[in-house]
Amino acid sequence: MGVVLPAGGSGSRMAEAGAPPKQFRRLGGAPVLVQTLRAFHRHPAVNVAVVVVPVGEEAATRALLAEYGAEADVVTGGPSRQASVAHGVRALPPAVRTVLVHDAVRPFVSQAVIASVLQAVLAHGAAAAALPVADTLRQGGRGPLFGTTVPREGLWAMQTPQGARRDWLVRAAANAAGHLATDEVGLLQHAGHPVWIVEGDARNTKLTRPSDWKLAEALWPDWAASEE
Ligand code: C5P
């Protein structure tokens, strides 16, 4: 099985003066990207990993992975997450028939979630981790009044890993015809493939805002002790 870790975004929501992009910030003594990569390498079914980075970051990322002894091919990202993932999938060796895609900025991915998504991909062709929405949802602008309530029954907050048979992913990307999905589920469904839901993990969040970082640092020691 092959893993693609898109880390090609600029991380503008997390940007702080002088701080490196979020995927290169340190968590528990190593860059987030390295911690995420280590989680996948700990899983016995993972044979190969590809990291997709912003243009110009390739050499620095290779050096960083070497410094931490983390093995992965490094390829250049594209203008969208979808394009970056397509670059990553293309770089996997031809023998790889099953692909998991995981946001590089979700280092709290458990072995249990990786195993469940992989099992569902092997059984059904495509699968993704998600959590049932727990908060009440309202739609509206940023004005002083709330808009309408959106019934949350049957709604899922999508996470990664999201994975599929490689041929499904490749064909879906080739036939997207301008359709830009924000995740692999969107792309696969656009191509007509059903995607199996796998229960994710509340800790498996995307480190997006500066406040996420403080929480991540507080949680890391216990997490590392239970997973490593
Ligand atoms: O923008 P968003 O937070 O949805 O990004 C999710 C993941 O996709 C991040 O790991 C980000 O680095 C990656 N990404 C990418 N190429 C882009 C945009 C985002 O690999 N052009």
Atom of ligand 1 nearest to the CA of 5: 10
Domain ranges, residue 25? 2-227
3-class secondary-structure state, position 159: strand
CB of 183 closer than 6 angstroms to any ligand 1 atom:
no
CATH at residue 43: 3.90.550.10
Residue range 103-133, pLDDT digits in tens:
999 999 999 999 999 999 999 999 999 999 9
Residue 13 has pLDDT above 50, yes or no: no
Q: Is the pLDDT of residue 40 over 70?
A: yes
Listed in sequence order, the residues at least 6 apart from 148 whose beta carbon sits closer than 8 Å to its beta carbon are 138, 139, 140
Report the C-alpha gap between 163 and 78 in whole angstroms.
20
Q: Ligand 1 test: best mutation among 4, 84, 205, most atoms within 8 Å of CB?
A: 84
Ligand 1 in reach of 6 Cβ (< 6 A):
yes
Q: Rounded to the nearest whole angstrom, what is the distance from the C-alpha of residue 7 to the centroid of ligand 1?
A: 6
Q: Is the CB of 22 under 6 A from ligand 1?
A: no
Do 27 and 216 meet the contact criterion of CB atoms below 8 Å apart?
Answer: yes
Query: What is the rounded radius of gyration, in angstroms, for the C-alpha atoms of the chain?
Result: 17
| Type of residue found at 41 | H
Q: Number of structural domains, the chain?
A: 1
Q: Which atom of ligand 1 is nearest to the CA of 105?
A: 10
Weakest-pLDDT range from 4-13, 45-54, 188-197 = 4-13
Q: Using a pLDDT cut of 70, give the percent of the chain over it.
A: 95
pTM of the model: 0.94
- Cα–Cα distance measured from residue 128 to residue 159, given in angstroms and rounded to the nearest whole number: 7
Token readout for 163 is: 């994975």
| Cβ atoms within 10 Å of 97's Cβ, excluding its own | 12
Instruction: Summarize pLDDT for 14-34 with one digit per residue, the tens.
Output: 445 566 778 889 999 999 999
Strands 98-101 and 156-165 turn out to be antiparallel
176 alpha carbon, distance to own chain's centre: 20
